[in-house]
Amino acid sequence: MFEWMAWTTPVAVFFSCIALMLFGMTLWEIKSPTVMRRGFLPIATTRGDRLFIGLLSAAYINLIFVGLSGRLMDWLSLEAEPSIWISFVISMGALALIMRKG
């Protein structure tokens, strides 16, 4: 069923983190219902809204990195493509920023 997908360790870790976040957010919402607030995002959001926006941002960061990794190798004169772990760390940082300050 999933033969078409490249299940590498970073991909598995990324999707595992998403599943854990969804589970954690569900428990958090049950324990402490959310309230709307405004951060740097131009709309009032709840925790769930910020998680959704953050996950979309993280996915796009990873896709952009994968798309540009070959060019980065040429531009920076690297011997091999940069590690996908770089985009994982950047995307999780962006997600944390959106969740905290968004």
Residue 14: predicted pLDDT: 76
pLDDT band at residue 9, thresholds of 50, 70 and 90? Answer: confident
Instruction: Give the C-alpha separation, 3 to 41, whole Å.
Output: 38
pLDDT band at residue 5, thresholds of 50, 70 and 90? Answer: low
Identify whether the C-beta of residue 85 lies closer than 8 Å to the C-beta of residue 10.
Answer: yes
Residue 60: predicted pLDDT: 94
pLDDT in tens, 29-77: 899 988 899 989 899 999 889 989 998 999 899 889 888 888 888 888 8
Residue 61: predicted pLDDT: 93
Q: What would the DSSP string read from start to end of 1-50?
A: --TTS---HHHHHHHHHHHHHHHHHHHHHHHS----B-SSSSS-B-HHHH
Q: Helix (H, G, I), strand (E, B), or coil: what is residue 81?
A: coil
Can you read off the two tokens belonging to residue 34? 């959310």
